[in-house]
Structure 1
Amino acid sequence: MPDATLMPTLFLSHGAPNLVLHNTEAHRFLKAFGAALPRPRAILVATAHFMTSAPALTADARPETIYDFGNFEPELFRMTYPAPGDPALAARAAALLGEVGLAAGTVEGRGFDHGTWVPLKLLYPTADIPVVQLSVQPRSGPAHHLAMGRALAPLRREGVLIVGSGALTHNLHELFGRGYALDAPAPDWVSSFGEWMRAAIEEGRTDDLVDYRRKAPFGPENHPTEEHLLPLFVALGAAGEARGERVHASAQYGVLMMDAYRFG
């Protein structure tokens, strides 16, 4: 049955997979933040690590945990996130997307990637809330993902927490090329982009956000590819007219801004 509570939407920066291991500012924030949210009946995660040419939703009843990374601490590969899936929610979300002309399908056999299980392991460690993953379409751009979010907005009245999981900044070439330490501060070209995004989100400048590659300082430099910022537009679209609030700001490895936003 629909829930009378209008759930917020979130954008979370998940950083590197070992976020779940290290006692950083972002780690501590996520561990505490779950308790500040209304408890959802289910969670829909638009994750930067599930990329398809058309929208897709995971429909497994018991998704596995997958390790879509390498060269990290061995203990990460022993972690699991045994939350159930929600095939009915996957079908409902696909139908909502279809109603606005965004043909979407459901897929089985794809487990929770680290864009999903790493932040959720900190937010909801008991793993007892059903989770469905939504793919991003890197070639389709911000406006497409904003429209996806707007189509999914009715789920907020059905007890579903819509989460975009990506990174506010994500330039891995700079990260690996310069060898930044975990606690390195953000250089100016990264922090100035982060502050522009904060102002645009909190002021409700949706058109500017969609055109961030031209309007934000160092937009292409902070996102050489867009998949890690596109989940933000799903959360933004699902929020409707509600403005966002930055609820966390920090940096890891210098060039990864770990900012988080709550909408609604």
Structure 2
Amino acid sequence: MMPSLFIAHGAPSLALEENVYTEFLQKLGQELPKPKAIVLFSAHWESTTQLVSSVANYETIYDFGGFQPELYQIKYPAQGQAETTAEVERLFTEAGIPVQTDDVRGLDHGAWVVLRLLYPDADIPVIALSVNRYLTGEQQYQVGQALASLREQDILVIGSGGTVHNLRRLNWESDGVDPWASEFDNWLHDKLVSWDTESLFSYDKLAPSAQAAVPTPEHFVPLLLAMGAGDQNKRASLLFKAYQYGNLSLSCWKFE
């Protein structure tokens, strides 16, 4: 069965970098069974109603500013897949989750930066999904859980975000790790490995340094979405962990 994944997409400049994390993602894409399609929740597509892309051919969105000029030349010409869009829509409807399709929006950097490292040939159909920061943790998990059966159809579910994501506290010159960032991620590791959903759903109240690590929830909720898609066996494993700029987490979790 295909796993579900949570992947930190870091800063947009990750697309131009060669480091241990980009090497890891490239290798991961080679090691995973090739999926029939990819269903990806991006922290950078927010909506209060669950949106599912029905785009046939994606434009590449540069939803950032002030980065290297080369970054704005990158294209990731992914295609959609009507069959998978219809299946995702059906699963959400069966689970009682209001859903709408979107036939316009391209892929934001939360999607294409990750996908380009995993699958540089852009030869796997992609279905982009929005996130809703206003749902409870339990509701986020249930949204992911509604898509669990996709894994049995060789469809890869990805949540793209970041566990520690506080742009105001980044230290662009730092080579170390801020203690509060690792403290939060260590708590998170324990709760994920033990599949302690009760604690995870209340991370903002229970986790140390939660307000510093997650000042706004849109980058955190893709973790709960990917976890929900792995509900059947409830096995979580950390595949990679590092930091940039003092506290920007680069992590990858596998749920199977």
TM-score (norm 1): 0.94
CA distance in structure 1 between the aligned counterparts of 2:189 and 2:73, rounded to whole angstroms: 36
Q: Is 2:191 the partner of 1:200? A: yes
Identity of aligned residues (%): 39
Question: 4+ runs of 1 displaced by more than 3 Å?
Answer: none
| 1:91 and 1:106 in contact (8 A); partners too | no
Match of 1:14 among 2, 9, 13: 9
CA distance in structure 2 between the aligned counterparts of 1:61 and 1:213, rounded to whole angstroms: 38
CA distance in structure 2 between the aligned counterparts of 1:24 and 1:205, rounded to whole angstroms: 32
Structure 1 segments unaligned to the other structure (5+ residues): 1-5
| 1:42 and 1:159 in contact (8 A); partners too | yes
One-letter amino acid matched to 2:238? R
One-letter amino acid matched to 1:253? Y
CA distance in structure 2 between the aligned counterparts of 1:70 and 1:143, rounded to whole angstroms: 34
Deviations 1:37-88 (A, max 9, x none): 1110000001100000110011111111110011011111000111211122
The aligned residue for residue 163 of structure 2 is: 168
How many residues matched?
Answer: 255
Three-state SS of the structure 1 residue aligned to 2:158 is: strand
| 1:95 and 1:104 in contact (8 A); partners too | no
CA distance in structure 2 between the aligned counterparts of 1:245 and 1:25, rounded to whole angstroms: 19
The aligned residue for residue 245 of structure 2 is: 253
CA distance in structure 1 between the aligned counterparts of 2:176 and 2:86, rounded to whole angstroms: 43
The aligned residue for residue 223 of structure 1 is: 214
TM-score (norm 2): 0.97
| 1:7 and 1:161 in contact (8 A); partners too | yes
Three-state SS of the structure 1 residue aligned to 2:147 is: helix
The aligned residue for residue 155 of structure 1 is: 150
CA distance in structure 2 between the aligned counterparts of 1:164 and 1:231, rounded to whole angstroms: 4
The aligned residue for residue 112 of structure 2 is: 117
The aligned residue for residue 3 of structure 1 is: none
One-letter amino acid matched to 2:201? V
| 1:14 and 1:258 in contact (8 A); partners too | yes
CA distance in structure 1 between the aligned counterparts of 2:49 and 2:2, rounded to whole angstroms: 26
CA distance in structure 2 between the aligned counterparts of 1:186 and 1:54, rounded to whole angstroms: 36
Three-state SS of the structure 1 residue aligned to 2:71 is: helix
Three-state SS of the structure 1 residue aligned to 2:165 is: coil
Q: CA deviation at 1:33?
A: 1.1
The aligned residue for residue 188 of structure 1 is: 179
CA distance in structure 2 between the aligned counterparts of 1:72 and 1:144, rounded to whole angstroms: 35
Deviations 1:101-124 (A, max 9, x none): 111110011001000000111111
Deviations 1:160-197 (A, max 9, x none): 1000000011011112xxx432x532211000111111
CA RMSD after TM alignment: 1.1
1:7-156 to 2 correspondences below 5 Å: 7-156=2-151
Structure 2 segments unaligned to the other structure (5+ residues): none
